[in-house]
Chains A and B, each alone.
Chain A
Amino acid sequence: MKAQRSKNSFSRRRVLQAAAAAAGTLPFVHAPQIFAAEESIGNWPAGAQGPTVFVGVTTPLTGPYSADGIDHLKGYQLAIEHLNNGEGLVPEVPSLKGKKGVLGKKIVYKNADTQTQPNPAIQAQTDYITQDKAIMITGALNSAVAIAIEKLAQRYKVLNMVGCSGANETTGVDCQKFAFRSQPSAYMAAKALTPVLGKVIGRNKKAIYLVPDYAYGHSVEHSTGEFTEQELGWKSLGSQVCPLGTKDYSSYLLNIANSGADVFVNVAFGADAVASCKQAKQFGVLDKMKMVVPNISAFQGKELGPEIMGGVYGTMDFWWTLAESNRLAKIFVDTFHEKFNYRPSWPAHIAYTQMMVWADAVTRAGSFDPVKVIAELEAGHKLQMPLGEVWYRKEDHQQVRAVPVVVGKTKAQMRNDEDFFEIVGMTPGPDVMPPDFLGCKLPSSV
Chain B
Amino acid sequence: MSWPLFFSQVFNGLTLGALLVLVAMGLTIIFGALGVVNFAHGALYAVGAYAGLVAYERTSSFLAAMAAGAGFLLILGVVIERGLIRLYYRRPHEDQILVTFGLGIILVEAIRAMFGGLARDIPAPSWAAGIVNLHVTLYPTYRIDVLAIVATALVLLYFILYRTRIGLIVRAGIEDQLMVNILGINVTRTFLTVFGLGAMAAGFAGVINAPIVTVTPDMGGDILVQSFVVIVIGGVGSFWGAVVGGLIAGELLSLAAMIAPAYSEVVLFAAMAVVLILRPQGLFGVEGRQ
Contact = CB atoms under 8 A, between A and B. Distances in A.
Interface of A: 61-64, 66-67, 69-70, 213, 239-243, 245-248, 250-252, 254-255, 257-258, 271, 274-275, 278-279, 282-284, 299, 302-303
B240 interface: no
Contacts of A271: 119, 214, 216
A62 B121 CA distance: 19
B222 interface: yes
A207 to B, nearest CB: 16
A247 B121 contact: no
B118 A303 contact: yes
B31 interface: no
B223 A284 contact: no
A258 B142 CA distance: 20
B253 interface: yes
B15 A250 contact: yes
Contacts, number: 109
Contacts of A254: 5, 8-9, 12, 137, 254, 258
B117 A283 contact: no
Given A247-B219, A247-B222, A275 B254 contact: no
Contact of A250 (B12, B119, B219): B12
A240 B261 contact: yes
Contacts of B121: 278, 303
Given A62-B112, A284-B140, 15 more contacts: A61-B117, A62-B108, A66-B117, A67-B118, A245-B222, A247-B219, A250-B12, A251-B258, A254-B8, A254-B137, A254-B254, A255-B261, A271-B214, A283-B140, A303-B121
Contacts of B276: none
B87 interface: no
Given A67-B117, A254-B137, A284-B131, A62 B143 contact: no
Given A254-B9, A275-B214, A303 B138 contact: no
A389 B258 CA distance: 47
Interface residues of B, number: 44
Given A67-B118, A246-B222, A254-B12, A282 B261 contact: no
A213 B262 contact: yes
B138 A283 contact: yes
A69 B118 CA distance: 11
B258 A255 contact: yes
Contacts of B138: 257, 283-284
B265 A279 contact: no
B257 interface: yes
Contacts of B119: 67, 271, 274-275, 299, 303
Given A64-B218, A251-B12, A258-B2, A241 B261 contact: yes
Interface in B207-223: 212-214, 216-219, 221-223
Contacts of B140: 282-284
Contacts of B257: 240, 251-252, 255
B193 to A, nearest CB: 30
B34 interface: no
A248 B146 CA distance: 14
Contacts of A213: 262
Contact of A299 (B2, B16, B118, B262): B118
A251 B118 contact: no
B190 interface: no
Interface in B1-18: 2, 4-5, 8-9, 12-13, 15-16
